């Protein structure tokens, strides 16, 4: 079976298995998603979602984040870890959003990558889930692990994995594909003990099915 055909079957099956798959970071608009994504680095989405409701009530726009008093924003996000660096990125990103984009999160890859603390993964999250724009595939630890385990790529770096996946996954599914793998990784395809028996895509996985 050709790799592209196998990838298509995996995608179609995961869509049926996880019909409600979506971004697990709670947000109502692009700025909230940007901040939540920055906070999610080296932190679980569950923890971020416990912090952000109060955070977003306190800081309602880019100006509020940009002007957060020294130490205050850090204290508010402390439980997400690496809070000094994250606060610096959030303030810096929001200042540039105010200076160059009228207080609104930009909706292009080029502009997002200019923001402090924003690399391609974060930009893909914001574009795909905040603006409905499929400009790339989000490659996190789940996507890296499952795409390699399923034999969709042998690449090891996020940049090369993304390049491999965008050749296999239809553009309309780029944002969704990451959510499907993340949901499957959490529910079935665990890093240490994958539940291969009964897995919905087992027969298309080189680990247990198609070689």
Torsional sign, CA 38, 39, 40, 46: negative
Average pLDDT over residues 87-110: 98
Contacts of 197 (CB under 8 A, 6+ apart): none
Identify the pLDDT of residue 209: 64
Q: Which helix (H) or strand (E) holds 113?
A: helix 109-113
Give the active site residue among 88, 107, 140, 207: 140
Quote the pLDDT of residue 207.
Answer: 77
140 catalytic per annotation = yes
* Residue 111 Cα to chain centre, angstroms: 18
- Is 61 in the active site? no
Q: Over the chain, what is the mean pLDDT?
A: 96
Question: What pTM does this model have?
Answer: 0.94
Predicted confidence (pLDDT) at residue 211 exceeds the cutoff of 60: no
HEC secondary structure over 138-206:
CCCHHHHHHHHHCCCCCCCCHHHHHHHHHHHCCHHHHHHHHHHHHHHHHHCCCCCCCCCCCCCCHHHCC
Average pLDDT value for residue range 6-35: 97
Output DSSP code: residue 77: T
From 45, 76, 121, 173, active-site residue = 121
Q: Provide the CB-side half-sphere exposure for 50 (13 A, CA).
A: 7
Compute the chain's Rg from CA coordinates: 18
Q: Is-contact 93 115, C-beta < 8 A?
A: yes
Question: Percent of the chain scored above 70 by pLDDT?
Answer: 99
Whole-number percent of the chain with pLDDT over 90: 96
In angstroms, what CA-CA distances link 206 with 119, 156, 211? Answer: 32, 17, 5
Q: Which two tokens stand for residue 2?
A: 């050709």
Residue 179: pLDDT over 90: yes
């Amino acid at each position: 079976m050709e790799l592209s055909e196998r990838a298509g079957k995996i995608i179609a099956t995961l869509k049926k298995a996880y019909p409600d798959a979506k971004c697990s970071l709670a947000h109502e608009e692009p700025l909230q998603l940007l901040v939540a994504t920055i906070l999610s680095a080296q932190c679980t989405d569950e923890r971020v979602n416990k912090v952000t409701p109060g955070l977003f009530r306190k800081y309602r726009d880019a100006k509020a984040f940009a002007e957060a008093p020294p130490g205050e924003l850090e204290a508010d996000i402390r439980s997400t870890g690496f809070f000094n660096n994250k606060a610096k990125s959030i303030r810096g990103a929001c200042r540039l959003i105010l200076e160059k984009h009228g207080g609104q999160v930009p909706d292009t890859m080029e502009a997002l990558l200019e923001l402090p603390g924003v690399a391609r993964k974060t930009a893909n999250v914001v574009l795909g889930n905040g603006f409905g724009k499929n400009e790339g595939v989000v490659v996190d630890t789940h996507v890296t692990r499952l795409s390699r385990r399923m034999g969709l790529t042998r690449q090891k770096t996020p940049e090369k994995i993304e390049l491999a996946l965008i050749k296999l996954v239809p553009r309309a599914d780029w944002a969704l594909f990451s959510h499907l793998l993340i949901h499957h990784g959490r529910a079935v395809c665990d890093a240490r003990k994958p539940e291969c028996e009964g897995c919905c895509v087992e027969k298309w996985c080189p680990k247990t099915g198609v070689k």
